Amino acid sequence: MIRKTRKKKAAAVSIIGGADGPTSVFIAGKTKKKSLKEKIRQRHILRKREKAASAIKAEPHSFDELVLYLQNKHHASELSKQSVSYQEQYKCVKESLILHYQPELLGDLAKIADLKGRDRASIEEALRQARLRSEAAQAVSDGQFPIDFHLYRICTKRGMIEFAVERRWGLISCSYSGSKEEMKRLKAICRDVYLYYGVTEEDIRNQTDRYQELVSVLAI
């Protein structure tokens, strides 16, 4: 999933690999007919993805090689497990991975009930369920669902980029923020790292999550 937020003097981008973010809430209601502008935008995105996909070749690297690449080329440093950023991302990644691979560990909370309407009470109920699901995910022990999570940070003069690496389940994700002038450079670093990690022939053939994430990054 790719999520973008922009402010007047700064911008931020997050690219989350594996499963979608765990606390997404969708408002129920009839789907509106797409406008011409939306249709054109979707076609543009599709063309960019097709172009990106056509350029991908099988040149994979392991997680060990990826970490060395981050440290040697981009001077990344690994964040402590006690840091705020590590704790926040760890919780999000853990919940997403459980939902993706073993949702049964969360019981009925694995699926948030559809909203019955657009009113405040319905939205608050959905948020309450999301909060309970998050708490349930964090309560799952390492023995039930082991995670090998690491977080690396690259600092530039006007921005910062973080790469989350989960070795056991094969997840890589990145997020970056900084001045508008710095976004081009941060985006280039993200693309470079994803291209280095690469994909296998099997990833291309089966269009795996690893392959789809690379396509998404190259199409931004």
Q: Which residues contact 93 (CB under 8 A, 6 or more apart)?
A: 18, 147, 149, 164, 166, 171, 173
Q: What is the pLDDT of residue 20?
A: 43
Model confidence pLDDT, tens digit, residues 59-105: 999 999 999 999 999 999 999 999 999 999 999 999 999 999 999 99
Query: Using CA atoms, how far apart are residues 66 and 60, in angstroms rounded to an integer?
Result: 10
Query: Using CA atoms, how far apart are residues 86 and 79, in angstroms rounded to an integer?
Result: 7
Query: Using CA atoms, how far apart are residues 99 and 19, in angstroms rounded to an integer?
Result: 8
Contact present, 85 and 150 (Cβ < 8 Å): no
User: What is the pLDDT averaged over residues 27-54?
Assistant: 77
Domain edges within the chain:
1-19+57-90+149-220, 103-144
Is the per-residue pLDDT at 14 higher than 80?
no
H-type alpha helices, 12-164: 36-54, 63-74, 84-101, 120-139
pTM of the entire predicted model:
0.80
The candidate with the shortest Cα–Cα distance to 113, out of 98, 97, 102, 124, is: 124
Share of the chain above pLDDT 90, in %: 65
Query: In Å, how far are 2, 48, 81, 200, 217 from 211, measured between CA atoms?
Result: 15, 15, 29, 8, 10
